[in-house]
Amino acid sequence: MNKVAELFKASYNEVTQYITWPKFTDLQASSTLVLVASLIFALMVGVIDFVFKNVLDLYYSSF
């Protein structure tokens, strides 16, 4: 049990003393970038899906 307590103490010390946490504004900028990139990617996938659907519908309706 002593080793577990030492692990938690060392982990707490590591988190509070040695890790540099990003500023809130940096987190906001990163989150905005991820959101915009995700929306662009979703839009591209949607357009590709729309084009493929219409091309396949046109192909199948020719038979």
Residues 30 and 5: their CA atoms lie apart, in Å, by: 36
How confident is the model over 2-56, as pLDDT tens digits?
Answer: 899 999 999 999 998 999 889 999 999 999 999 999 999 999 999 999 999 999 9
Tokens of residue 14, six digits: 């590591």
For residue 11, the model assigns a pLDDT of: 95
Q: The pTM is what?
A: 0.65
Quick one: the chain helix, strand, coil %, rounded to 5?
85, 0, 15
Q: Where are the domains of the chain?
A: 22-63
The maximal CA–CA distance of the chain, rounded, in angstroms, is 76
Tally of CA atoms within 13 A in the half-sphere of 50 that contains its CB: 6
